[in-house]
A and B are shown apart, each in its own frame.
Chain A
């Protein structure tokens, strides 16, 4: 095991709060009566439905596909009938086009046997399968995976990084995946390496998951194969270690230039759970129709790591997890640092939802914001070397259009600045607003 790595600039140490779920094995949630599938699960153009109302579908059937632009197809997570092709509440966009499926409880689910030997397929065929399986970066970014696997010809790639940092507090989904599906992740890594036509892969895991580091190392040892050099790198615990640019710097020492993709420095990063989905898609022929999420926080009676169908509504998860406690104050999709608070339990899980947090009064800070006192703590915390305080002051002064000089488009909204701000300023929201207005002008 090499020395513990991390990125040098900025970062914060929020309470990890992973003890609520890190020891809980993944449970499979029973099928809900109804699923709501948002057509824009990924970054890029939303899918176009290929099914009609009242049509019967089997698990894994194609529901929608990309007609134009960047995107991946969407499949039926369960067998059942299409109840509606309409719209649904969306965690960020308020409302979004969607397909509603009524589950058929009698239907027999396919076995999804590991039937394909991926060694026999060409890298082009493998890439095709990844695309057809509807796989996107399920760690949260939602970028179509097959696009990342075809880096521009002028920036050759030599290293694949698997992101197992899971630096967001509370979330333990990737942690459990690494413990329970280590071999499949390593197999998936080899598939990715073959598609990319390279040999080297490093799996980065934060040191607060020693069991996952051990399990992954054992799996890597066991699966040694000529032509592949896969290793595990232990990372220090520091938020946002799992951010692509920070992870690349920690492990390879390379700095991805501003506004550039990781391939500019010869690296491609995939999340460990995405890698597992690649294995499923290629070897089992199983599209991305379910995922492991962490249900946590002191506002839910039974925290859990749950395997849920894409499209499961938060309300169904609440019912399965024993309901909410009386001091529940906020429901967040995603982690506490980067996630979005939702105002209704009617929102569905998407391919990029990594957790649903039920936070109690004690776990959130509702102090009102005050003026910026220019303490500069945000400058110390920002891993990108930006100036969050200036962005906030400009936005408040209605000069959002002039904030490009402070590097708003390099900001990936990790929330480290807002976390340390003594005046409790919503700096990430200021940045989002600034980005919107700067794009428009």
Chain B
């Protein structure tokens, strides 16, 4: 688990440089409160305290990555209570939670603090001075995220705000755009995810099926007419990369067999695109993963591993 946390440090550092130290602070609060809530919950429930395994820290890190960096510190603390106490320990503890705790925390916060959770974005620091937000006080600036602009104002305004595709792809990929930490710096998040794959913590099945289906379905349905959508933009915007590599691959809440993982990934991709294009929110991957989470065990039941050989006379 700590390795996964470490993989998230480079994008965090980049985000702090781009958006200022507020990002580091909000992440620290989120990680610390998740670990504290884990220890307290386990004490209260009379279970062995396992904060050291890093899973609560990872939840905290991921939750910080998917909330706007300009929110009040109270928000990640409340999120931690929802994610760890209710979402994880009341549902049975490590290994038994049905939903991804970090996403559950975010969904709860989005429902409870709809304004802060959709507006407290920070614009990139153009002068790159690290201490702007320390000296000038923390003042969240309302800046719309690319997906929100695209959804609410259309592609033309999007081009006006963020530039033509040629300039948009690299800036989005590198992370120079408003958004939560996990929605920016796609490159570093991707590199971390690839490292996890190299170390065999995760396999290609879930990330590829999630991103592949998002790209394919956006290409088909995302444009004004069929087959004119922008698949690359769909993958680079929002939390697609973070969701595909770090959220959807959570061991506990995803299926275990390879075939089930592919079906699960495509399900997430399809729901993401559906919510993005037809739903009320600009970004759908959070809810897409939460909706697929409870199906994991069902999918595992459908796609069981193949036995070495059937018994004589066929299956019973």
- What residues of B have a CB within 8 angstroms of the CB of A176 in the complex? none
Knowing A375-B256, A376-B251, A376-B257, say if A370 contacts B308 (CB, 8 Å): no
Given contacts A258-B307, A258-B311, contact A370 B256 (CB under 8 A): no
Which chain B positions have C-beta within 8 A of A410?
A: 307-308
Chain B interfacial residues counted at CB < 8 A: 22
Binds A, one of B76-84, B89-97, B104-112, B265-273: B89-97
Complex Cα–Cα for A245 and B94 (A): 36
From residue A290, how far is it (CB to closest CB) to chain B in Å? 36
Q: Which of A203-223 contact B (CB under 8 A)?
A: none
Interface membership of chain A positions 365-389, coded 1 if the CB is closer than 8 angstroms to chain B and 0 otherwise = 0000011111110010011111101
Minimum C-beta distance from A125 to chain B (A): 33
Please, which residues of chain B bring their CB within 8 A of the CB of A384? 307-308
Check if A9 is an interface residue, CB within 8 A of chain B: yes
Q: For the complex, is B280 an interface residue (Cβ under 8 Å from A)?
A: no
**Residue B305 interfacial (CB < 8 Å):** yes
A259 to B94, CA, bound (A): 35
Distance in angstroms between the alpha carbons of A255 and B308 in the assembled complex: 8
Choose from A245, A257, A379 the contact partner of B256 (Cβ within 8 Å).
A379
- Asked if A256 is at the interface of the complex by the 8 Å CB criterion, the answer is yes
* Residues in A whose Cβ lies below 8 Å from that of B304: 387
Q: Is B275 an interface residue (CB 8 A)?
A: no
Which A residues lie within 8 Å of B310 (CB)? 257-258
Contact indicator B308/A9 (Cβ below 8 Å): yes
> With an 8 A cutoff between CB atoms, is A260 at the interface?
yes
A264 within 8 A of B: yes
A407 interface residue, CB < 8 Å from B? yes
With A371-B94, A374-B95: A386-B309 Cβ-Cβ less than 8 Å: no
**Once the chains bind, are A385 and B307 in contact (CB under 8 Å)?**
yes
Does A258 lie within 8 Å of B94, measured CB to CB? no
Contact indicator A258/B309 (Cβ below 8 Å):
yes
Q: Could you say which of B95, B252, B305, B311 contacts A382, with CB atoms under 8 Å apart?
A: B305
- Asked whether A257 and B311 contact (CB < 8 A) given A374-B251, A375-B256, A379-B256, the answer is yes
Q: Are the C-beta atoms of A375 and B251 separated by less than 8 Å?
A: yes
Q: Measured between alpha carbons, how far is A166 from B146 in the docked complex, in Å?
A: 61
Do A259 and B305 form a contact, CB below 8 Å, given A371-B95, A372-B95? no
| Residue contact A370 to B50, C-beta cutoff 8 Å | yes
- Distance from B251 Cβ to chain A, minimum over Cβ atoms (Å): 4
Q: Say how far A261's CB is from chain B's closest CB, in angstroms.
A: 10
Q: Which residue of B lies closest to A9 (CB)?
A: B308
B306 close to A (CB within 8 Å): yes
User: With contacts A374-B95, A375-B256, A379-B257 known, is A258 near B251, CB below 8 A?
Assistant: no
B309 touches A255 (CB 8 A): yes
Q: Does B160 contact A (CB under 8 A)?
A: no
B312 at the interface (CB under 8 A from A): yes
Identity of the chain A residue whose Cβ is nearest the Cβ of B201 in the assembled complex: A375
Whether A385 and B308, one on each chain, are in contact in the complex, defined by CB atoms closer than 8 angstroms, is: yes
Query: Which one of B256, B306, B309 lies within 8 Å of A376 (CB-CB)?
Result: B256
Cα–Cα distance between A7 and B251 once the two chains are bound (Å): 27
- How far apart are the CA atoms of A100 and B306 in the complex, in Å? 49
28 CB contacts below 8 A, A to B, read A9-B308, A245-B308, A255-B308, A255-B309, A257-B309, A258-B309, A259-B312, A260-B311, A370-B50, A370-B94, A370-B95, A371-B95, A373-B94, A373-B251, A374-B251, A374-B252, A374-B254, A376-B251, A376-B255, A376-B256, A376-B257, A379-B257, A379-B305, A382-B305, A383-B308, A385-B307, A410-B307, A410-B308
